[in-house]
Structure 1
Amino acid sequence: MTTRHQVTRTTAAALAALLALTAAGCSSKAKDSGKSEGKPDAGGVKTGQGVTDKTIKLGVLTDMTGVYASLGKSVTQAQQLYVKQTNADGGICGRKIELMVRDHGYDPQKAVSGYTELSPQVLGFAQFIGSPFVAAVKQRVDGQDKGLVIPQAWSASLLGSPYIRVIGNTYDVETINAVDFLLKDKGLKKGDKIGHVYFEGDYGENALAGAKYAAEKAGLTVVEQKIKPTDNDMTAQVAALKKAGVKGVVISAGPRQAASFVGVAAAVKLQAPVIGNNSAFSPQLLATQAGPALTKNYYVASPTQPIGTDSADAKKLVAAYKAAYPSAALDNGVVAGWTAASVFGEALKKACTSKDLTREGVGKALLTINAYDSGFGTTHDFTDPKAPSSRETVILRPDKNATGGMKVVREAKMSQAAESFTVGG
């Protein structure tokens, strides 16, 4: 795999060193926890790590206090709601689901340490936020632990593993579809320049690969602006892209960076439309000074329809979420968390039918799911670990009057460029 899909060398080296230390400290515990792997219960169902005759434990490595705090809270609460409803209906395979939640605050040390702590205790992970952190444990997941991990991360570097399974399109494919929207719907044409503001590391560099591919296909020129997750003021980036004369901008960063960029762009009259990847927006931003600019000139590429979409499944989830968390904001993190939990749940149900609730059994069960619809406009195919579960992208627009703060401006679509793109190539 090319270096553009990897975390930066410094970050990768630090995470690898940390993983080696934490893995060494817990190796005996991990070995002991797997002694019952494959032993059948009274009903003939094979069980292993994280599974008893009464419970199935799943890990959650989230961000409640860092750069993706709003996303992490919504994803986690949605998964807790899924577990609550599933357990109320009798659980899965006669067992109650239990989530073991750890907040890593988007800190590398906490993320890797959290994985090392929980892995020996759980069947798998229903959530793991942070492409660099998931990439850091990928070798251990594939070679030693072999428990299903569903990341809240969409980097192409995570593909190829039978155990780490990306839901929706990867950042490169999503960005290709985002550029297609700028071309088809916002008037960009051959010869134009597009700006790309992106986080250093796995997320941003994977998105950049997609932007460059789409630009090459369409005859555009990409003007790059690399930033760090700690960079919150986008004044310099706006100035540079305005000077370059860009006609559109892609943002592969967090909600704070997107709000700053769009707000500053409006102030200096940079009229170019701006579109962000799926993790570059939070509806809480609509209540800030950047709110009016976001509703006027900002778009979001999403793997699914928004939480406020007009469907029976969406309305049911909104009602249940409001009842469970009356003071919590509704956003697309609710959709992402619910979808990931329900996908894991479907794999557990199929594994139960096959009488194999071991890590291997659950992994094999997921490989049989080829047309899963979580109720939000996208059909997912998990039969090929080398591919994302979908190449379709929904284009959303902030709307303070919509439930969840987003409305659909273009339904799920796979562009011609996204169809021809070799993911991870």
Structure 2
Amino acid sequence: MKRTGRNKRARLGTAALAAALLLTGAAGCSGKAGTTTEEKEGAGGVRTGDGVTATAIQLGALTDMTGVYASLGKSVTQAQQLWIKQANASGGICGRQLELTVRDHGYDPQKALAAYTELEPKVLGFAQFIGSPFVAAAKDRIEGQDKGLVIPQAWSASLLGSASIRTIGATYDIETVNAIGYLLDEKRIASGDRIGHVYFEGDYGENALAGAKHAAKEAGLTVVEQKIKPTDNDMSAQVAALKQAGVKAVVISAGPRQAASLVGVAAAGGWNVPVVGNNSAYAPQLLATPAGAALQKDYYVAASTLPIGATEPGPAALASAYTAEYPGAGLDNGVVAGYTAASVYGEALKRACADKNLTREGVGKALLSLKAYDNGFGIAHDFSDPKAPSTRQSVIMKPDEKTPGGLKVVKEAAVAEAAKSFTPAAG
């Protein structure tokens, strides 16, 4: 059964509720009354609308450079700026130069939605929107009246089903099933065992928890839950509780700081169990912390892309270009996430141009034609069905200080058996 906007918001937690309340007020004064700016026909018979002029295509980026995901947000944004620079150097798209306007919301709900409200009338769409709860809170407005294509750096299944919000990769629930599947395949856990799950309250963590429960049911495991807030940085209490519960492995669906604390505290106490995290639960900067050694010992990360340190042509070329553009910035998987999102957006723009329809509606329709899109990062994506994730595959990686970007592949892209039959709970 399709959930109402009210039911979705009820599950988002305090931060996202604040965002939803702000959004309600913002939407009421947007003045758009359910329609986009008047469309017009430009040079060459190409229809245009919001964010598109005769010479430019305006895109927005709502990022986190000062909050929970600060390190990843900076990398995502710089990678997108690099892609736009490359695209413009090659002549732009549809005879127009691309421009990216960035706003840092610091993972603050009020700042996130205020920034969306500010930029939305000025841009064609958003190549970045970090924060699953904030994207979910804005979903009704994006779908109902704004209709600009949003490619979020968020993978909650609640975002599925939207023609305007399109994630790249497996959703958190499927990703979690794949991560647990890896531990099962490696004989690190078995039927009858207990596994812990430390997760953020709200959309991200609860969606990952749904995947953990599905995987546990299929494999005969028991999940011991530990819900936390994004502001909780010390995982000592969670480690103590899970250790006492006798869990044999831990899943963490939170941020890099929480992952480092969890693994570091466990190691300091002599508690040695494997820990697996979702794609946003790691940053290579963690390797320089006291938890670095423990992370390299038995911590694993799942994601729907090869890491930036992989030797395949796509990651290698991006690593070289990024390092040249941002000397000393460091490499992480935010670079891959940002660049991939920008390139997918760019491909949709090219196809919309070919269709002579650079309106928001035209770009969204163009994305549906991408059925086997592979930009060289290990997995082909299918965007033809908004109700389905673009892939069910996950690559399993392990922190490694000797590898550029701090992650090495330990299992190539695959779908766990339990993930094949799992149906994400779309919004």
Q: What is residue 16 of structure 1 aligned with on the other side?
A: 20
1:320 counterpart = 2:307: no
1:298 counterpart = 2:302: no
Q: Which runs of 4+ in 1 moved over 6 A?
A: 2-6
Distance 1:24 1:409 in 2: 49
Q: CA deviation at 1:32?
A: 12
Q: CA deviation at 1:358?
A: 0.3
1:276 counterpart = 2:281: no
- The one-letter code matched in structure 1 to 2:142 is V
Is contact 2:124–2:360 with CA below 8 Å preserved after alignment?
yes
Q: What is residue 38 of structure 2 aligned with on the other side?
A: 36
Q: What is residue 54 of structure 1 aligned with on the other side?
A: 55
Do the aligned partners of residues 117 and 4 (structure 1) sit closer, same or farther apart at CA in structure 2, a change above 3 Å counting?
closer
* Alpha-carbon displacement from aligned partner over 1:370-423 (angstroms, at most 9, x marks no partner): 001121111100000001100000000000000100000000001111110011
Do the aligned partners of residues 167 and 321 (structure 1) sit closer, same or farther apart at CA in structure 2, a change above 3 Å counting?
same
1:356 counterpart = 2:357: yes
Distance 1:100 1:72 in 2: 14
Distance 1:132 1:247 in 2: 30
What stretches of structure 2 of length at least 5 have no aligned partner? Answer: none
Q: What is residue 193 of structure 2 aligned with on the other side?
A: 192
Distance 2:11 2:354 in 1: 39
Is contact 1:5–1:206 with CA below 8 Å preserved after alignment?
no
Do the aligned partners of residues 367 and 215 (structure 1) sit closer, same or farther apart at CA in structure 2, a change above 3 Å counting?
same
Do the aligned partners of residues 186 and 269 (structure 1) sit closer, same or farther apart at CA in structure 2, a change above 3 Å counting?
farther
* Alpha-carbon displacement from aligned partner over 1:273-294 (angstroms, at most 9, x marks no partner): 0000000000001011100000
Distance 1:12 1:423 in 2: 21
Distance 1:154 1:5 in 2: 17
Q: CA deviation at 1:312?
A: 1.4
Using structure 1 for the length normalisation, give the TM-score. 0.97
Is contact 1:56–1:95 with CA below 8 Å preserved after alignment?
yes
Identity of aligned residues (%): 68
* Alpha-carbon displacement from aligned partner over 1:165-189 (angstroms, at most 9, x marks no partner): 0100000000000110111114211
Name the stretch that deviates more: 144-153 or 5-14: 5-14
Q: What is residue 405 of structure 1 aligned with on the other side?
A: 406
Secondary structure of 2:44's counterpart equals: coil
Q: CA deviation at 1:8?
A: 2.9
RMSD: 1.5
1:155 counterpart = 2:156: yes
Is contact 2:10–2:17 with CA below 8 Å preserved after alignment?
no
Secondary structure of 1:43's counterpart equals: helix
Distance 1:94 1:42 in 2: 9
Distance 1:32 1:163 in 2: 14
Q: CA deviation at 1:24?
A: 2.7
Q: CA deviation at 1:78?
A: 0.2
Question: 1:194-343, aligned counterparts within 5 Å?
Answer: 194-343=195-344
Is contact 1:33–1:120 with CA below 8 Å preserved after alignment?
no
Secondary structure of 1:249's counterpart equals: strand
Q: CA deviation at 1:23?
A: 2.3
Is contact 1:249–1:272 with CA below 8 Å preserved after alignment?
yes
Secondary structure of 1:387's counterpart equals: coil
Is contact 1:5–1:156 with CA below 8 Å preserved after alignment?
no
Secondary structure of 1:404's counterpart equals: coil
Is contact 1:4–1:205 with CA below 8 Å preserved after alignment?
no
- The one-letter code matched in structure 2 to 1:400 is E
* Alpha-carbon displacement from aligned partner over 1:78-129 (angstroms, at most 9, x marks no partner): 0000000000000000000000100000000000001000000000000000
Do the aligned partners of residues 419 and 269 (structure 1) sit closer, same or farther apart at CA in structure 2, a change above 3 Å counting?
same
Question: 1:86-165, aligned counterparts within 5 Å?
Answer: 86-165=87-166
Is contact 1:6–1:201 with CA below 8 Å preserved after alignment?
no
Q: CA deviation at 1:297?
A: 1.1
Using structure 2 for the length normalisation, give the TM-score. 0.96
Name the stretch that deviates more: 269-278 or 339-348: 269-278
- The one-letter code matched in structure 2 to 1:332 is N
Is contact 1:7–1:201 with CA below 8 Å preserved after alignment?
yes
Q: CA deviation at 1:270?
A: 1.4
Do the aligned partners of residues 336 and 369 (structure 1) sit closer, same or farther apart at CA in structure 2, a change above 3 Å counting?
same
- The one-letter code matched in structure 2 to 1:17 is L
Corresponding residue pairs, total: 422
Q: CA deviation at 1:35?
A: 4.0
Q: CA deviation at 1:21?
A: 1.6
Secondary structure of 1:388's counterpart equals: coil
Question: 1:58-73, aligned counterparts within 5 Å?
Answer: 58-73=59-74
- The one-letter code matched in structure 2 to 1:96 is Q
Distance 2:44 2:155 in 1: 38
- The one-letter code matched in structure 2 to 1:36 is E
